[in-house]
Amino acid sequence: MLIVFKLLGSIALLIYGMKVMSEALQKMAGPQLRHLLGAMTTNRFSGVLTGALVTVAVQSSAATTVMTVSFVNAALLTLAQAISIIMGANIGTTMSAWIMSAGFSFNVTMLVWPAFLAGIILIQTGKHRYVGDFLFGLSFLLFALGMLKETGIEMDLASKPAVVAFFAQFKTNYGTILLFLLIGSILTAMVQSSAALMAITMVLCSTGAITIFQGIALVMGENIGTTVTANLAAMSANTQARRTAMAHLLFNLFGVLWVLIFFFPFVRFVCGLVGLDPTADSQSPTQLSFALAAFHTAFNLINTAILIWFIPQIEKLVCWIIKPRKAEQEDEFRLQFINSGIMKTPEISVLQAQKEIAVFGVQMQKMLDMVKELWETEGDDAFAKLFDRIKKYEDESDKMENEIGKYLGQVSDAHLSDDTKEKIRGMNREIGELESIGDSCFNLARILQRKRDKKVHFDDDQWGGVVQMQELVKGAMARMNELLQGRKEEFTIEQSAEFERRINEKRNTLKQQSLADVDNRVYSYDNGTVYMDLVNELEKVGDYVLNVAEARLGQEAITNAD
């Protein structure tokens, strides 16, 4: 029982070490990874290279594939780009297998203690703490590998008659290969860590419990089981994201199919690369672990070399398999880019939220345009329909603020870098101000309804003043949307502040003119009140627009000349 607990504990520690190390690497390289994924996918070959490099950097193909699904969900990558990145991720993940095979070839625990010491010093001092987290995760990983190796030796399964008899009943034929492939798929899907099952496979092979043929069948199953992570992450995402996850599954299924056709010759070829005789009675544990790593690498390299020429066909196939949901085809409220299901990489989830906030800004721009259309509407029925549409947009703005806020709250629960925490604080302010824009636009519609009910008529000068205010606010809002959709490093607050200054000046000029016109009996007091209510509400929209720009750029509030 002690040996069993040591085995299970070592696997748990291995999974934890991989998780801590991957998260630390993502925090250290989060912005760079995002830019790398966006910039280095100009063609299928650069996409494969990018996927491989990112996976080697974060030491997790699951993180890369979920990240890629998130990017497709946020419309930052096309489906074709994502497919090439996932192919590269499958190549990059083979690095983990080589690290593990090295752990089975020499005593890696001697590297653990200095890494633990350096890691805790960096974490406690606060300087380079993400490097400390990485060293801590790496230490756990190496320690777990050392424990697995020792546990495998202690288990000595090859000398246990019951174990030998159990595995001896599985003859080396296609039936056994298919069975072990299925077991590998199920276990990897359950554990959601192909690295953990790779370590178990190496232990079983190195102790003589299973043959290299059965071990390689388990590795093939791991390649299918690991696609479950991305498919689970994409379940609540949009159609393109679900298609990306499906492409990952199809890629690995195709690889498994062609390997099954040439299984025994291919295994003998791979074993020959590391100098292993797969049929020998006595085999070196080191060579066995290297043979598993070599198979994993050869499998993904050859699979990518074949399928890289068929990315357009794969794209068409997944589009045929995954149809858009009915809700996505209907004109109803729903978030376009963020879903609570994609939370594997919280640093990347912030991008999805920013994309959704950009949509929020565009919605508010449409709402302001509808207000202008409302004051130009003649018939009562047409006015009522447009008023109801504006009311619907106002309700949706409340829902968008609530849903994006909840999503940002979920992301905030994860371990985040200080930079990402600051971004989330700014984004919470952005959605609050955008919702206020929606409220003000609806207030403008209500003022216009009051104007209609009271049969208030504006003269040309009044209409001219309202139009001028609306045009200034529209310009400020267009600038705001450029900010929300672009990289904030490319913008400054000055242009938004200039719009706000001009809006305030125009409001003050119109206010003074209105007071003079009421005194001179140019129009009635009621008329002037409705007129200035419109002007003041438009000025409020300008304030909220500036607040969004400040939040996006991380600026302190600018004092408005109210």
Instruction: Give the integer Cα–Cα distance in Å for 543 and 384.
Output: 28
Check whether 158 has a pLDDT greater than 80: no
Q: What are phi and psi of 417, to 5 degrees?
A: -75, 160
The model's confidence at residue 229, banded by pLDDT at 50, 70 and 90, is low
Residue type, position 69, single letter: V
Sorted by sequence, the CB contacts under 8 Å of residue 26 that are 6+ apart come out as 33, 58, 63, 345, 347, 348
Range in 248-252, 344-348, 358-362, 383-387 with the lowest mean pLDDT: 344-348
Mean residue pLDDT across the chain = 81
Q: What is the mean pLDDT of residues 196-224?
A: 83
pLDDT computed for residue 542 by the predictor: 93
Instruction: Give the integer Cα–Cα distance in Å for 116 and 329.
Output: 53
Range in 32-41, 50-59, 153-162 with the lowest mean pLDDT: 32-41
Helical (H) or strand (E) element with 541: helix 525-553
Q: What is the mean pLDDT of residues 57-61?
A: 65
pLDDT computed for residue 195 by the predictor: 73
Instruction: Give the integer Cα–Cα distance in Å for 417 and 174.
Output: 49
Q: What is the mean pLDDT of residues 525-537?
A: 90
Topology of the domain covering 346-553: Methane Monooxygenase Hydroxylase; Chain G, domain 1 (1.20.58)
Check whether 475 has a pLDDT greater than 80: yes
Check whether 130 has a pLDDT greater than 80: no
124: exposed, middle or buried (Cβ count in 10 Å: 0-12, 13-18, 19+): exposed
Compute CA 283 distance to the chain's CA centroid, rounded to the nearest angstrom: 44
Q: What is the mean pLDDT of residues 459-487?
A: 90
CB atoms within 10 A of CB 508: 14
**What letter would DSSP give residue 158?**
G
Q: Give the best-scoring range by mean pLDDT among 96-105, 295-304, 372-381, 552-561.
A: 295-304
Question: What residue has token string 């004051």?
Answer: 375
**Of residues 345 and 519, which shows the higher confidence score?**
519
Q: How far is CA 209 from CA 161, 163, 215, 216, 331, in A?
A: 11, 7, 10, 13, 59
Q: Quote the tokens at residue 496.
A: 């938004």
Residue in 84, 90, 60, 61 with CA at minimum distance from that of residue 72 = 84
Q: What are phi and psi of 274, to 5 degrees?
A: -110, 10
Range in 14-18, 377-381, 521-525, 557-561 with the lowest mean pLDDT: 557-561
Q: What percent of the chain has pLDDT over 70?
A: 80
Residue in 212, 231, 223 with CA at minimum distance from that of residue 182 = 223
pLDDT computed for residue 153 by the predictor: 64
Instruction: Give the integer Cα–Cα distance in Å for 420 and 368.
Output: 31
Q: Give the best-scoring range by mean pLDDT among 284-288, 398-402, 535-539.
A: 535-539
The model's confidence at residue 46, banded by pLDDT at 50, 70 and 90, is confident
Compute CA 366 distance to the chain's CA centroid, rounded to the nearest angstrom: 28
- 224 close to 249: Cβ distance less than 8 angstroms: yes
The model's confidence at residue 541, banded by pLDDT at 50, 70 and 90, is very high
Angle at 183 between CA 100 and CA 277, to 5 degrees: 55
Instruction: Give the integer Cα–Cα distance in Å for 253 and 266.
Output: 17
Q: What percent of the chain has pLDDT over 90?
A: 23
Question: What residue has token string 């310009």?
Answer: 475
**What letter would DSSP give residue 96?**
H
Check whether 338 has a pLDDT greater than 60: yes
pLDDT computed for residue 500 by the predictor: 92
State the span(s) of the chain assigned CATH 1.20.58.220: 346-553
CB atoms within 10 A of CB 85: 32
Question: What residue has token string 């002690």?
Answer: 2
Q: What are phi and psi of 543, to 5 degrees?
A: -60, -45
**Of residues 62 and 541, which shows the higher confidence score?**
541
Residue type, position 208, single letter: G
- 63 close to 345: Cβ distance less than 8 angstroms: yes
Check whether 480 has a pLDDT greater than 90: yes
- 59 close to 22: Cβ distance less than 8 angstroms: yes
Residue in 95, 62, 69, 104 with CA at minimum distance from that of residue 301 = 95
**Of residues 66 and 511, which shows the higher confidence score?**
511
Q: What is the mean pLDDT of residues 67-82?
A: 73
Check whether 79 has a pLDDT greater than 80: yes
Q: How far is CA 383 from CA 328, 390, 545, in A?
A: 29, 11, 27
Instruction: Give the integer Cα–Cα distance in Å for 533 and 206.
Output: 81
The model's confidence at residue 508, banded by pLDDT at 50, 70 and 90, is very high
Q: How far is CA 69 from CA 74, 81, 248, in A?
A: 9, 11, 10
pLDDT computed for residue 63 by the predictor: 66
The model's confidence at residue 329, banded by pLDDT at 50, 70 and 90, is very low
Q: What is the mean pLDDT of residues 163-190?
A: 79
Task: Check the CA dihedral 178-88-86-290 and report its sign.
Answer: positive
The model's confidence at residue 42, banded by pLDDT at 50, 70 and 90, is low
- 445 close to 371: Cβ distance less than 8 angstroms: yes
Check whether 376 has a pLDDT greater than 80: yes
Instruction: Give the integer Cα–Cα distance in Å for 465 and 456.
Output: 16
Instruction: Give the integer Cα–Cα distance in Å for 201 and 311.
Output: 32
Task: Check the CA dihedral 290-296-297-298 and report its sign.
Answer: positive
Q: What is the mean pLDDT of residues 204-223?
A: 85
